[in-house]
């Protein structure tokens, strides 16, 4: 698969392009029993819940890779204005989406 540039900016310096459309990468992760027990204990004493942080970092990486794959399927060279969104689904699941605009470079 070709490398798809992903940026959070609206413009790519030195490049002119046309928008192909919206592109998404989504993942949903569930919390396991051990993470829930650890989180419950950490909730009592306070502090960072490192297992949840790790889960969210992994979810972001997966969602960006899926974004990249979906952009490639559209024939894109890059994705501009990439953003993340996340939310809980029930008490035990976390969903993360990476989204942006797939673009194709114009010949000069």
Return the pLDDT at 93.
80
Q: How far is CA 74 from CA 20, 24, 43, 59, 64, in A?
A: 8, 11, 44, 23, 15
Q: What is the pTM of this model?
A: 0.82
Number of domains composing the chain: 1
Q: List the domain range (segments joined by +) for residue 30.
A: 5-105
Residue with the two structure tokens 């970092």: 57
- CATH classification at residue 40: 3.30.110.70
pLDDT tens for 6-19 read: 999 999 999 999 99
């Amino acid at each position: 698969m070709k490398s798809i540039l992903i940026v959070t900016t609206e413009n790519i310096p030195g490049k002119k392009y046309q928008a192909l459309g919206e592109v998404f990468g989504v993942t949903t992760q569930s919390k396991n029993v051990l993470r829930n027990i650890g989180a419950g204990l950490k909730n009592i004493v306070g502090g960072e819940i490192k297992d949840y942080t790790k889960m969210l970092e992994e979810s972001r990486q997966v969602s960006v890779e899926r974004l990249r794959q979906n952009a490639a399927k559209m024939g894109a060279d890059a994705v501009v204005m990439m953003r993340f969104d996340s939310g809980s689904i029930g008490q035990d699941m976390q969903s993360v989406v990476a989204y942006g605009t797939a673009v194709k470079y114009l010949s000069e």
